[in-house]
Structure 1
């Protein structure tokens, strides 16, 4: 018999249980933690920029060629694009749930490369980026200057140069987006009157800047082949890309030889200053100019671990901040996740304690309680092995499944313990009693396990977002049922043979005596009521039918929803102004 093998080898049974808990503990440490499973379809984002182009021009010259090639990529559900008057273009391609996001990115990139030759040269020079996009934001980090020593442009530039790359290197971070005034740029504000007086156009200035603001290899002096008496070989270093407004102002735009020799420089026809690359957006924190960084996590990453690493990295970067700069984290999605998971862990502990108390009250033998008591940690911790094997995460649904499974996993252990105790009361030794109990219970344990798994397994085969959501819940309970059955067939009979003893006739504790007396009366009353009802089945079919009708009415009347609405401690406000509203007008509304 299967169980007899472990009854005669209790050390082996305990070693299996210990190994199960160790593997489950290791799996728990590496499993990602999140609020809900990854149910959103994966997306890939293609972005480009056409300087000076309007929304219609961008849509016609950039969007149309790219979308014609990308359309129909493998496993694509749909795509949406946005073309703006600032020349920016963004295309988001949404794929089916379960699609390999890395392969999807490669397929989109290949399609974009085909369309590259059809794009304007300015767009090609700016470059086209194809990135896998995560919709799961971890937190929002802001940079501010409490004494307003630095403006939003400086803060945004500092975040781009010194912080974004450091945060992007953190394991689990998928993307860091800097939001604010943008990056520094050399601005040339042309004077139309001065240009017209000198017979110049905007294109003349652009060509002059492109020709003279270059990084070139000037070569070497004395490079072979050289005369035999050449003693030195010198590398020529020239001024490369210009850095200051003065250097850009000295760029020669035109040379006039007659009637009077004259050199026209950029400063003669334009005002040169170091400003922002774009002035189309602003960012504030509590009314103070600031810069923000939205940090997104990679699919499958541990959100709590990523958040902790981000906080630790920001603390290290803060030591290098210039005086008067401060960082803050006003938005952190992991706070709610951390609290929700902590509450579920607490609920799991409370459920385990309550189950053991109920077992103690009914069995009234601490030795008998130890047998099902060890089932809870072995089965629940061992379930994390299944979560790791299935590629699941620690989320509200998997933990909720474990909470429900606490009451299920002890059933087999209670039945084994009760049957073994029954045989001991009939005069058998604990070892023989455990063997006799397992001879009777081996089939029922296998049967009830198959029934439980057959109830929950169909939910694992649901398709789409619904299946992705409830698959983890169903398979978690099914896995605990299987582990509980294995535990009941191996460890539980061995423990019964070792721990159970014949009952000693002695007065029970007063609480148990009172409980037994009360329970006996309740049981007797229940038996009499059942006997009375079974003699009048037709009479009780009426309330049964009413109960079914009320249940059906309540099911149809209650509002439906995909996920429950939860208060996560924050709210967002969106302000929509009429078309063509200026930025100053928008800022005035926001300030109010």
Structure 2
């Protein structure tokens, strides 16, 4: 049985099949997402519970412990960590890699509902959970700061304009705001003033709640038209709160400004983020400017309070494309925010990915060039060098198509697999070529040598290909995070080897039957006989 005979006798069919594989692989290459490592989804959930004013010990005993008891019965839970601080408890639930994250989320929701009766009744909200991926770090950090406008104003532009628009970009999962400074009025009551006036804190709280409302007032119904009564009871700044009447004593109102300080502030003044610009040192003419990072006292004096946006991508998306799409929007953002607000890029994860992927791609091209050079040095025949060399790009390009079908990405591990496969994919084609050349040295024509040589060596090439693939089978069954990471590596290199085996049994003998030059000594013998 000769597997290659069909391809040898039908060169047009073989050529069209290979061209189709080439086109499919090139199109697939454009669709491959680019990342630094393979996309591995960690089934991790984070549960957050808040109880304002509670100490860390109280949070651990009354909130964390009941939740841990409920979560411990969930199937597939591999680890559980809890952290309690002032008024907040966070529990991180790590599940087995084969556990469905949606099913785990439903189990967590059921456990929270079941343990709600054991939690403190004065909790403002029930515990909430969200899906997290520890390996999916933000791909871009953007800083907003201003030396003129207050941070609360900068936060308004960051939260309402930039964050909402960036979250709509294709491939963006979420936008986190670090150092948020939402505007709020902070009231600092004076205990002595309250004692003198004989007013309690509860009276002040009720007066603030009643004096700052935005409720429907009613409607006036007339014979011909109706009128909606609009009463604006919203207090928007500290000056409006200062004149708020808390109580009446001796026929005169007691205003809030008499009982303490009313300040324009932010909701949480215990969090902050800084932006440290890089100082450029100018040199004399002819010398390049030198970038110097500030340290010590210079850093403390040069730090600028800022609002930082952390942008995370969706799993399986192209990091480089997501970052490029975001950067295209930055000029439009600069026109929509005041000129006094500075917008800078703190960290761009795509830069390191571009550099690493470009480096590996260069290594791959260099490896292909070296393999072709070695083949030429040993065969010393251009046609005999070109024919097996075609198996390398075709095998790699065809592998791109399989990678797209399997949902893989173009990362360091997959490119390393392709680089290592270069030496494997050319072996089968060289073996096939060498056997066909041996038959031509015995006096057979190119067609006869291709048919006979491929029939003799076809099963050998098939066994070689399968044995090489079998080496990487154990990697496919590795468990844990390492198994998930190297699974893409093993599949990529195995597919490249299998494709090279198919090309060596189809394209290589067909090209040999049409374009392989006869051995040198045969040509010299013909010339000598003619003389």
Aligning the two structures, in what range does the TM-score lie when normalised by the shorter sequence?
0.7 to 0.9
Work out the CA distance in 2 between the residues paired with 1:73 and 1:315.
Answer: 49
Matching residue of 1:36: 37
**Counterparts in 2 of 1:84 and 1:335: CA distance versus 1, 3 Å:** same
**Offset from partner CA, 1:104-158 (integer Å, 9 cap, x none):** 4444344434555665576435x7543222332223221233xx22344443443
> Which of residues 447, 452, 455 is equivalent to 2:463?
447
Matching residue of 1:474: 490
The answer to whether 1:162 aligns with 2:173 is: no
Residue 239 of structure 1 aligns to a residue in which SS? Answer: coil
Residues 134 and 298, structure 1, Cα contact 8 Å, conserved in 2: no
Work out the CA distance in 2 between the residues paired with 1:121 and 1:413.
Answer: 74
Residue 124 of structure 2 aligns to a residue in which SS? Answer: helix
Residue 489 of structure 1 aligns to a residue in which SS? Answer: helix
Residue 325 of structure 2 aligns to a residue in which SS? Answer: helix
Matching residue of 2:404: 388
**Offset from partner CA, 1:370-406 (integer Å, 9 cap, x none):** 2112111110111122323333222211111110100
Displacement, 1:181?
Answer: 5.2
Displacement, 1:236?
Answer: 2.7
**Counterparts in 2 of 1:457 and 1:413: CA distance versus 1, 3 Å:** same
Work out the CA distance in 2 between the residues paired with 1:93 and 1:321.
Answer: 40
Displacement, 1:336?
Answer: 1.8
Residues 250 and 267, structure 1, Cα contact 8 Å, conserved in 2: yes
Matching residue of 1:264: 254
Displacement, 1:65?
Answer: 4.3
Displacement, 1:99?
Answer: 3.8
Residue 163 of structure 1 aligns to a residue in which SS? Answer: helix
Residue 230 of structure 2 aligns to a residue in which SS? Answer: coil
Work out the CA distance in 2 between the residues paired with 1:203 and 1:232.
Answer: 43
Work out the CA distance in 1 between the residues paired with 2:456 and 2:370.
Answer: 29
Matching residue of 1:72: 73
Residues 157 and 337, structure 2, Cα contact 8 Å, conserved in 1: no
Work out the CA distance in 2 between the residues paired with 1:307 and 1:190.
Answer: 48
Work out the CA distance in 1 between the residues paired with 2:472 and 2:32.
Answer: 23
Work out the CA distance in 1 between the residues paired with 2:340 and 2:262.
Answer: 28
The answer to whether 1:192 aligns with 2:208 is: no
**Counterparts in 2 of 1:177 and 1:393: CA distance versus 1, 3 Å:** same
Residue 140 of structure 1 aligns to a residue in which SS? Answer: strand
**Offset from partner CA, 1:494-541 (integer Å, 9 cap, x none):** 222221133465999xxxxxxxxxxxxxxxxxxxxxxxxxxxxxxxxx
The answer to whether 1:438 aligns with 2:454 is: yes
**Counterparts in 2 of 1:387 and 1:343: CA distance versus 1, 3 Å:** same
Residues 42 and 133, structure 2, Cα contact 8 Å, conserved in 1: no
Q: TM-score, normalised by structure 1?
A: 0.77
Residues 367 and 499, structure 1, Cα contact 8 Å, conserved in 2: yes
Work out the CA distance in 2 between the residues paired with 1:47 and 1:194.
Answer: 39
CA RMSD, 1 decimal:
2.7
Displacement, 1:57?
Answer: 3.6
The answer to whether 1:231 aligns with 2:224 is: yes
Residue 149 of structure 1 aligns to a residue in which SS? Answer: coil
Residues 82 and 90, structure 1, Cα contact 8 Å, conserved in 2: yes
> Which of residues 439, 442, 464 is equivalent to 2:480?
464
Gaps of 5+ in 2: 277-302, 525-531
Work out the CA distance in 1 between the residues paired with 2:353 and 2:111.
Answer: 38
Residue 319 of structure 1 aligns to a residue in which SS? Answer: helix
**Counterparts in 2 of 1:29 and 1:72: CA distance versus 1, 3 Å:** farther
The answer to whether 1:96 aligns with 2:103 is: no
The answer to whether 1:274 aligns with 2:264 is: yes
Work out the CA distance in 2 between the residues paired with 1:73 and 1:248.
Answer: 50
Work out the CA distance in 2 between the residues paired with 1:123 and 1:241.
Answer: 27
Work out the CA distance in 2 between the residues paired with 1:261 and 1:162.
Answer: 48
Gaps of 5+ in 1: 223-228, 509-592
Work out the CA distance in 1 between the residues paired with 2:123 and 2:401.
Answer: 50
Work out the CA distance in 1 between the residues paired with 2:495 and 2:155.
Answer: 49
**Counterparts in 2 of 1:98 and 1:18: CA distance versus 1, 3 Å:** farther
Work out the CA distance in 2 between the residues paired with 1:193 and 1:48.
Answer: 36
**Offset from partner CA, 1:523-579 (integer Å, 9 cap, x none):** xxxxxxxxxxxxxxxxxxxxxxxxxxxxxxxxxxxxxxxxxxxxxxxxxxxxxxxxx
Residues 3 and 455, structure 2, Cα contact 8 Å, conserved in 1: no
Matching residue of 2:283: none
Matching residue of 2:124: 124
**Offset from partner CA, 1:266-313 (integer Å, 9 cap, x none):** 333232222011121222222122222222333323222222222223
**Counterparts in 2 of 1:174 and 1:457: CA distance versus 1, 3 Å:** same
Displacement, 1:408?
Answer: 0.5
Work out the CA distance in 2 between the residues paired with 1:164 and 1:63.
Answer: 32
Displacement, 1:335?
Answer: 1.9
Matching residue of 1:220: 219
Residues 175 and 296, structure 1, Cα contact 8 Å, conserved in 2: yes
Matching residue of 1:326: 342
